[in-house]
Amino acid sequence: MQVIFGAERDELDDDAVLAAYPWPEEGPWVRAMMVTTLDGAAAGPDGLSGSISSSVDKTVFDAVRRHADAVLVGAGTIRAEGYGALRAKDADAEARRAQGQAQAPVIAIVSPSLDLPWDSELFTGSTEPPLVLTTRAPDEAALARAREARATVVQSDSDDLPPRFLVDTLVQRGLRRIVCEGGPRLLEAVARAGLVDEADITVSPMFAGHAHVTRTEGLDHVVGFDLVHVLTAEGFLMCRYVRP
C-alpha cells in the first residue's frame, strides 16, 4: 500500500496503517467508515459491501477498528452482512487493556424492530456483550427474545432513535471512540445530525450500476472536511477526512 498524500512513508504495513488513523487523546470522536463505488453505491449486485471492497480496503477497515471503543452499526447491515464475533488479537487486547480500554470493541446495533440474528456468532462469540439500541416500545415478543440473548438492550424514551441519543448512550458508557460502519441509512442520520468528526472513505475503482437515489431532505448547507491522507493500492483510494 502506498501513501499518495499526507504521510511520510511510501509503503505501509498493518501497524503503519494503524498509525495513520490516530484517535484523539480525549473526548468523543465519531468516525464514519464506508466504501463507495465510483457511481456512489454502498454494495455490489449481491447486496454486500465485500463485493466492492478488497484486501487492502479490509486492512484499513481493520485498522480503523483496532483501538475503537464501539462499532456502531445499523440493523440492516447486520442482517445483510452477517457480522462475525467482534474480538481483538491478543497483542491488541493487551495494548487496549494497557490504555484502559475493554479487551475488544463493543458492537452497538441500532434496531427499532429488534429483528436480529440472535443466535449468530456476533452475539454468542463477541468478547464484549453487544449493545442493542432500540426504541421506547418495540414489539414485546421481540424485546423478550432480545433479553434472552447475550446482549445489553438500551431503550430510548421515544419512538425514535435520534443520532444524538445513540452517541450519548455510548459515551455515557465510556465508549468515546466510535466507528460508525453504516449502513447508508444510519450514516445519513448521523451525518445529518452533524455528529461525524472523521470520514474514512474508500473509493472503489468500479461501477455498480446503481447509485444514490436523489433525496430532497438533507443538511441545509454542505459541510466541508479536511483531507488528511490518501492511501492507494490496487486502484483503490482510501481517504481520511477530518472535520476542520
Ligand X SMILES: NC(=O)c1ccc[n+]([C@@H]2O[C@H](COP(=O)([O-])OP(=O)(O)OC[C@H]3O[C@@H](n4cnc5c(N)ncnc54)[C@H](OP(=O)(O)O)[C@@H]3O)[C@@H](O)[C@H]2O)c1
Number of residues forming the site for ligand X (CB under 6 A): 27
The region of 91-99, 110-118, 206-214, 222-230 touching ligand X under the rule CB under 6 A is: 110-118
Query: Minimal distance in Å, beta carbon 184 to ligand X?
Result: 4
User: Out of 62, 115, 121, 197, which residue is the one contacting ligand X (CB under 6 A)?
Assistant: 115
* Residue 34 or 93 with smaller CB distance to ligand X: 34
Query: Minimal distance in Å, beta carbon 46 to ligand X?
Result: 9
Q: Does 113 contact ligand X by CB under 6 A?
A: yes
Alpha helices in 51-136 (DSSP H): 55-66, 75-81, 90-98, 121-125
Nearest-5° Cα angle at 196, 146 to 79: 30
Query: Minimal distance in Å, beta carbon 182 to ligand X?
Result: 3
Say how many C-beta atoms besides its own lie within 10 A of residue 208's C-beta: 18
Q: Residue 11 has what DSSP assignment?
A: B
Contact 82, 123 (CB under 8 A): no
Window 35-64: residues binding ligand X (CB under 6 A): 35, 42-43, 47-49
Q: Does 77 contact ligand X by CB under 6 A?
A: yes
* Residue 101 or 138 with smaller CB distance to ligand X: 138
Q: Does 117 contact ligand X by CB under 6 A?
A: no
Q: Which three cell numbers stand for residue 101?
A: 480500554
Window 169-188: residues binding ligand X (CB under 6 A): 181-186
| 40-70 CB burial, b ≥16 within 10 A, e <16 | ebbbbeeeebeebbbebbebbbebbbbbbbb
**Burial of residue 215, with CB atoms counted within 10 A of its CB: 0-12 exposed, 13-18 middle, 19 or more buried:** exposed
* Residue 115 or 121 with smaller CB distance to ligand X: 115
Say how many C-beta atoms besides its own lie within 10 A of residue 100's C-beta: 7
* Residue 96 or 106 with smaller CB distance to ligand X: 106
Q: Which residues bind ligand X (CB under 6 A)?
A: 34-35, 42-43, 47-49, 73-77, 80-81, 110-113, 115, 161, 181-186, 189
